[in-house]
Amino acid sequence: MPTFHNPLADAAEASDALRGLAHASRVFDNPADTYSVLGDLLSGVRSLRQVLDQLGSAHLVHRGRAHDDDGDQAIGASEALAAADDLHHAGTLLDSVEERVNAAMTHSGRIAWHAPAQELDREAVSTEAPRRWLSVVFLQGSEADEVLDLINRDGPDAAITHLRNWDYGEETTDAALENGYVYEEPPTGQLDRVATDGDYTLTYNPFMGHVNLLRAHPAATPDPTIDGTDVVTSREATSGVGPLDPSTPQTEVTPASARTQHGSVGAEPDWFAEPTRSSESTGRGLSL
């Protein structure tokens, strides 16, 4: 907190605050926040202008006490006058800074910031037709690492394009509905990142090492193949930590990490098989 009487302490605090602001302002999740920040900066510029004037005055008032390192008062007074002149010049330059910041704030105040196009698309869909989300493929461990490397190299859109190879249309839909891999919203954890491309939503976590691709599925008409217990909303059910329903024993739940085919829970999966389509299976491979 400012002391309003100790220039040393208040200057140190102002320096720390500006350093923190320089770090925090690297990214603005909500661009509308820039208007408030500009207002505070404008106030800061005006205060800084005053501080420079007062520092210059202090050098002038106390120039009689100024000496150089060898004790020469004339030289010290000359340096004090030079410092006061430079401080006065810096304050004058800040007048133009204040004018530009004030103009920028005026322009910024006239902007109506809209949500990103992806969010607008999702809002439009949610108001027009309710949707559920079907899990297309869930990867973790070394399999997810390859996709996470692809995201780091080419971006999440490239990963969505790649993982769409695991979407077999109606086969994937039927398997997800039959096995309960259906969600009211794309399941995400606290550190998960989300990317959307049309009907596909990718959630990924480079810290925990997992990737999940989901596809939107219209839910305007209740599907006769599922009921309320088939729709999973908890993170625990997604990760296989807990049962899908409180009445379902823990041992009957297949962990998400063991999903190689939605249609076969008890079968031994081939963890490293390439994604293949078969007339005998409605499942989907999970390995790259």
Name the nearest CA neighbour of 280 among 265, 264, 268, 269: 264
When mean pLDDT is compared across 21-35, 60-74, 181-195, the lowest value belongs to 181-195
Does residue 57 have a pLDDT over 80?
Answer: yes
CB atoms within 10 A of CB 174: 17
The pLDDT assigned to 26 comes to: 87
When mean pLDDT is compared across 49-63, 150-164, 224-238, the lowest value belongs to 224-238
The pLDDT assigned to 55 comes to: 95
The pLDDT assigned to 92 comes to: 93
| Mean pLDDT, residues 55-82 taken together | 94
Of residues 223 and 104, more confidence is placed in 104
Does residue 118 have a pLDDT over 70?
Answer: no
Place of tokens 């006769």: 224
| Mean pLDDT, residues 198-205 taken together | 89
| Mean pLDDT, residues 14-40 taken together | 89
Residues 6 or more apart whose CB falls under 8 angstroms from that of 225 comprise 177, 178
Name the band, by pLDDT with cuts 50, 70 and 90, for residue 114: confident
The pLDDT assigned to 284 comes to: 43
Name the band, by pLDDT with cuts 50, 70 and 90, for residue 129: low
Name the band, by pLDDT with cuts 50, 70 and 90, for residue 255: very low
Task: Convert the pLDDT of each residue in 159-190 to its tens digit.
Answer: 999 998 888 888 888 888 887 788 888 888 76
The full length of the chain comes to: 288
